């Protein structure tokens, strides 16, 4: 199996659940020789007055996120799992779905930040909207 052709995709935003999703994906990848990880970190554009338009992302935030993502991939590489990552700016659901399609990922791992899963499921979330659009297994990690 060519690991680069079909990675596991991990949605990572620096939160505790996202970190646990990364660790879970890494553990799964270690069980499959040649399995790679692709980590996607999306920074949502801030809304401006009245929710109309978009603001700008602080370049320091971009740099910090890139540095942290590089460290994650170094950790995975040291564990014997090929890893690449991208920091993207925009709407998380759209960018994650696009990343899944573009990379032809075989699975998605995503952290779940809500304490009440039922309410999150009923009300909606990035996780739920991504799950509705993709055709790969999705692992939600609390």
Instruction: Give the tens place of pLDDT for each residue, 124-140.
Output: 566 666 666 777 888 88
Residues making up the chain, counted from first to last: 142
How many CB atoms are located within 10 Å of the residue 120 CB? Answer: 16
Residue 112 has pLDDT above 50, yes or no: yes
Pairing status of strand 107-111 against strand 83-89: unpaired
Determine whether 69 is exposed, middle or buried from the number of CB atoms within 10 Å of its CB (0-12, 13-18, 19+). buried
Output the pLDDT for position 25: 97
Range of the domain at 95: 3-141
Single pTM value for the model = 0.82
Q: Which residues have a Cβ under 8 Å from the Cβ of 4 and sit 6 or more positions away? A: 36, 82
- Short-list 85, 89, 65, 64, CA closest to 22: 85
Task: List, for residues 42-100, the tens digit of each pLDDT value.
Answer: 998 775 555 555 567 888 989 999 999 999 999 999 999 999 999 999 888 888 888 88
Q: Are 8 and 109 in contact (CB under 8 A)?
A: yes
Q: CA–CA separation, 74 vs 44, rounded Å?
A: 25
CATH of residue 117: 3.40.50.620
Q: Specify the higher pLDDT residue, 46 or 107.
A: 107
Q: Which structure tokens are listed for 64?
A: 């910090």
Question: Residue 114 above 90 pLDDT?
Answer: no
Report the number of distinct structural domains present in the chain. Answer: 1
In angstroms, the CA 17 to CA 20 distance is 5
Task: Please say whether the beta carbons of 38 and 85 come within 8 A.
Answer: yes
Q: What is the pLDDT of residue 40?
A: 95
What confidence score (pLDDT) does residue 54 get?
56
- Each residue of 2-54: pLDDT tens digit? 445 589 999 999 989 899 999 999 999 999 999 999 999 999 877 555 555 55
The CA distances from residue 67 to 40, 63, 70, in Å, are 13, 6, 5
């Amino acid at each position: 199996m060519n690991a680069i052709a079909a990675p596991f995709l991990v949605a990572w935003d620096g939160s505790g659940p996202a970190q646990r999703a990364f660790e879970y994906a890494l553990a799964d990848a270690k069980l499959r020789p040649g399995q790679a990880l692709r980590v996607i970190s999306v920074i949502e554009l801030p809304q401006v007055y009245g929710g109309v338009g978009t603001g700008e992302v602080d370049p320091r935030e971009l740099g910090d996120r890139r540095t942290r993502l590089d460290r994650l991939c170094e950790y995975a590489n040291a564990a014997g799992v090929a890893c690449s990552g991208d920091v993207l700016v925009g709407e998380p659901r759209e960018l994650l779905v696009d990343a899944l399609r573009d990379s032809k990922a075989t699975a998605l791992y995503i952290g779940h930040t809500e304490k009440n899963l039922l309410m999150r499921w009923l009300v909606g979330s990035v996780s739920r909207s991504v799950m509705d659009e993709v055709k790969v297994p999705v692992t939600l990690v609390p």
